[in-house]
Structure 1
């Protein structure tokens, strides 16, 4: 395995922390043109798989049948962070869909974002399954099961017909045989998939450029899903978060996952990227993605500026004093796109 230093955090002239990892970018010929470290390293998607796991919903007419808004439909792909607008939309979905909260396999929790979590605790509000960041995904799972006549019982298990169907979709998008896809258990209890990082890049290339997908129904489902993700960018994570910044750019399809995984695809450039920060840090995602976009001369400077503002290169102490810096130190081992 080959891992490379991606980001250094420097304090008082001394390197205090190093974030190592791997990055891969592929073009529409499925050739890697951007590589840092071992692109064949098997990596779990974690929540970066949510758009793939949501595709069965978009292969049906569930959204129209139950009168879901785009805001609500975006939550099937989301790692929602528990803001009031997320909770309002999820409550509305429970009123529309043939799903009860107690049927969700994901555990009861508090929101991911600090402000709504602390507000709920102050008010004495108990944890709920609805507040779990995977609630929308699980609502989609159950609704699809009822739509296709699959049993709801055990919908989260690896051998359930819904999970086998999702595995087939991932195999189709990644070009990896089902037998070569590693399966673990995610934080919410659903299956989680690991494939080589390069193939993860290919998946996000195809999400950004669905014309590369051979199956016409899947192609149309991807187009519909990613359009909703772009239109409802704050629903996929929350405001002031990297997913929302990238998805607000209509040229980008993006989703992050736990333990430092981030994936995104560029529509006009017809390129897909995947990265893994080996210490699991999400804090340096904006720095790394901004640097990648700068290195390939991405032309939407506003998107890069927003990423830089989200995670400035200056480290400040509790009093606001500048005490160090965050420096990206990686370069592609191959020539990036011009």
Structure 2
């Protein structure tokens, strides 16, 4: 099958009001497909779902060790955070340790999604800065690598040594030559792959251990541990990545990406998952990844974090239950 399939249904009372179609793949430790929906060969931009791949050169190069990066900082290198103080203060301190500052970032300013941080800026008549950008941790990682390589300051350029290292790692873990890239919201190149390639990359991370045979395997294991240990740094309070990782007690690492992408790394089963919702909707990708995680037995279907994204009541503004968001029969 090459067409996307309906993965998520939105019901209002007895009426099927909307559907979210997409592609999804589960891969085993060999990179082979265990189960797929839609077209595994659909080329996509992973967006922020692949930040752990982009962070591999940070560790592999020795830059992380040379800079004395902590597990918290490694989690931030994989983060799409919401600009809360716990995020911005840590990124600011990281840059300071490098002898750099907010102006050295190339991700651009972004209004924080964190309500307290946003209201604080408004009350102080201040503008958001690049530290508030959800990708500032990833960019601090890029700067750490650039400094270690004695490379130039424009680390987001596709021909910069940092992005060349990212591309090499990306192609190796996806098992595919990338057909190209798009420029992400944070101005860094985002390399394309197939849904299968993205799931294969996640299965690689799921199969790695801290005592792995290669530097890359050990680096991948470090990043997975960092994400699972500090889910609040990977996203933030109220966000799916944070809440669902907490619901799985740090046994699974998950990461969202813009425009309907979501991935999961399941070490205990050595499985990787990739989801792409073709309409780009977060509602659809969150429900789909929750459904797959419950299907694989690693997420409690009755946990509040699950019900918030799948099968829980959809309430109107008066608190009246009016419908639900559910995985499709095909997905289940």
Instruction: With the length of structure 2 as denominator, give the TM-score of the two structures.
Output: 0.91
Q: 1:72-87 to 2 correspondence within 5 Å?
A: 72-87=73-88
The answer as to whether partners of 2:259 and 2:281 remain within 8 angstroms in 1 is yes
1:291 Cα deviation after fit: 1.6
Structure 2 unpaired stretches of 5+: none
Deviation at 1:74, TM superposition (A): 1.7
Q: Is the 8 A contact 1:106 1:135 kept in 2?
A: yes
Q: Distance in 2 between matches of 1:299 and 1:118?
A: 37
Deviation at residue 143 of structure 1 after TM alignment? 1.7
Decide whether aligned partners of structure 1 residues 188 and 132 sit closer, same or farther in structure 2, where only a CA change above 3 A counts. Answer: same
Give the RMSD, CA atoms, in angstroms. Answer: 2.3
Q: Deviations over 1:34-58 (max 9, x none)?
A: 1111111001110012111111222
Q: Give, in whole Å, the separation in 1 of the partners of 2:266 and 2:37.
A: 19
Which stretch shows the higher mean deviation, 308-317 or 256-265?
308-317
Distance 1:54 1:327 in 2: 34
Alignment of 1:90-101 (within 5 A): 90-101=91-102
Instruction: Give the match for residue 276 of structure 2.
Output: 276
CA distance in 2, matches of 1:171, 1:10: 40
Report the secondary structure of 1:80's partner residue. Answer: coil
Give a deviation string over 1:11-70, Cα, whole Å, max 9, x none: 232222211111111112322121111111001110012111111222244445444443
Equivalenced residues, count? 328
**1:304 CA displacement:** 6.1
Give the corresponding residue for 1:226: 224
**Residues 247-277 of structure 1: CA deviation (Å, up to 9, x unaligned):** 3333212211100100112111111110011
Task: Go from structure 1 to structure 2 and tell me whether the alpha carbon gap of 1:295 and 1:189 turns closer, same or farther (over 3 Å shift).
Answer: same
Partner in structure 2 of residue 331 of structure 1: 330
Report the counterpart of residue 135 of structure 1 in structure 2: 136
Aligned to 1:315: 314
Match of 1:199 among 197, 200, 212: 197
- The 1-side partners of 2:213 and 2:298 are apart by 31
1:135-155 Cα shifts (integer Å, max 9, x gaps): 111111122111112222x31
Residues 29, 206 of structure 2: 8 Å contact kept = no
Residues 63-117 of structure 1 deviation map (CA, whole Å, 9 limit, x = unaligned): 4544444323321111111112112212221221232211211111211234422
Distance 1:61 1:242 in 2: 32
Shift of the 299–66 alpha-carbon distance from structure 1 to 2, 3 Å rule, reads closer
Per the alignment, residue 250 of structure 1 pairs with 250
Q: Counterparts of 1:247 and 1:117 in 2: how far apart (Å)?
A: 25
Relative distance call for 1:140 and 1:299 in structure 2 (3 A) is closer
Tell me if structure 2 keeps the 8 A contact 1:98–1:143: no
Please state if 1:13 is matched with 2:20: no
